[in-house]
Amino acid sequence: MAAAKAGTKGVSRAEREAQILAAAIEEFGLRGHAHVSVADVARRADISKPLIYSYFGSRDGLASACVRRAGDLLVLGVAAVPTEEADAGRRALATLAAIFAVLDRCRHAWPVLYDPTIPRGSEADTLARGYRAELAAMGAEGTADVLRRAGNTDPLDHDLLSRIWQQAVNAVVSWWLEHPDLDADAMVTRCARVLVVMGGPTGRPAELDPRM
């Protein structure tokens, strides 16, 4: 029976680790940290619990590794967005496109990073807070730049716009998770239409690559 388990033999350590992380991120993303056991992840990955422990040491170690994976993907994706775009709507769309591209490859990275059931004070919680703060800082920098280009340096306006942007991104991603049939490209197109109605860009920029 053990030989029949997926990848119990002939699989490199890096490949096995990626397989376990993919299964764990899906479990934690779908059900939340508080409701997932190592046994759940083992079943999804079709491997044994001891094998997971041999890679990550504990359930907490596995959860922390999932947060690192999700956080690294999202931070690197958003950091790669060009900042020279002056139009606020197009810049917002480019940032959303970068997030969608990440989530198209790892759909549950967002709920793993923003999971409210992660125990306070745990390593996973500390890591998640750090990544969320980094993403919030990048968002705040972007909104400040947009306001500055428009001649607005009011700190309260910036604080308000930054808060609106963070909540809007979370709402858009949450909506997408409820519609798993839509891919990243479809979401970019849909958001472009919505931004037009809200007074954003006049259309989806032809040069924008949703997979950026």
- Whichever domain contains 17, its CATH number is 1.10.10.60
CA 195 – CA 60 distance, rounded (Å): 40
**Is 152 found in the same domain as 76?**
yes
Contacts of 74 (CB under 8 A, 6+ apart): 99, 102, 109, 110, 113, 131, 135
In a domain, 207, yes or no: no
pLDDT at residue 116 in the model: 96
Beta-strand runs (E) in the chain: none
Whether 110 and 183 map to the same domain: the answer is yes
Per-residue pLDDT at 9:
65
Res 82: pLDDT? 87
Q: What pLDDT, on the 0 to 100 scale, is given for residue 84? A: 79
Residues 35 and 73 in one domain: no
pLDDT reported for residue 89: 84
User: Mean pLDDT per segment of 10 residues, for the chain of length 212 residues?
Assistant: 46 92 97 97 95 97 98 96 80 93 95 97 98 96 91 95 95 95 95 80 43 35
- Is residue 126 included in any domain, yes or no? yes
CA angle 64, 95, 30 (to 5 degrees): 40
Position 68 scores a pLDDT of 98
What is the predicted pLDDT for the residue at 178? 94
CB 55 within 8 A of CB 16: yes
Residue 113 located in a structural domain: yes
Of 47, 62, 77, which closes a domain? 62
* Residues 79, 72: Cα–Cα separation, whole Å: 10
Q: Are residues 144 and 116 in the same domain?
A: yes
pLDDT at 196: 82
Rounded Cα gap, residues 56 and 79, in angstroms? 28
Longest distance between any two alpha carbons in the chain, whole Å: 68
pLDDT for the residue numbered 125: 98
Q: What is the pLDDT of residue 3?
A: 35
Q: How far apart are CA 118 and CA 34, in angstroms?
A: 7
Domain range for 37: 2-62
Whether 49 and 123 map to the same domain: the answer is no
Which segments within 58-172 are labelled E, that is strand? none
Return d(Cα 107, Cα 126) in angstroms, integer: 22
Residues 53 and 155 in one domain: no
Count of domains in the chain? 2
pLDDT value at residue 11: 83
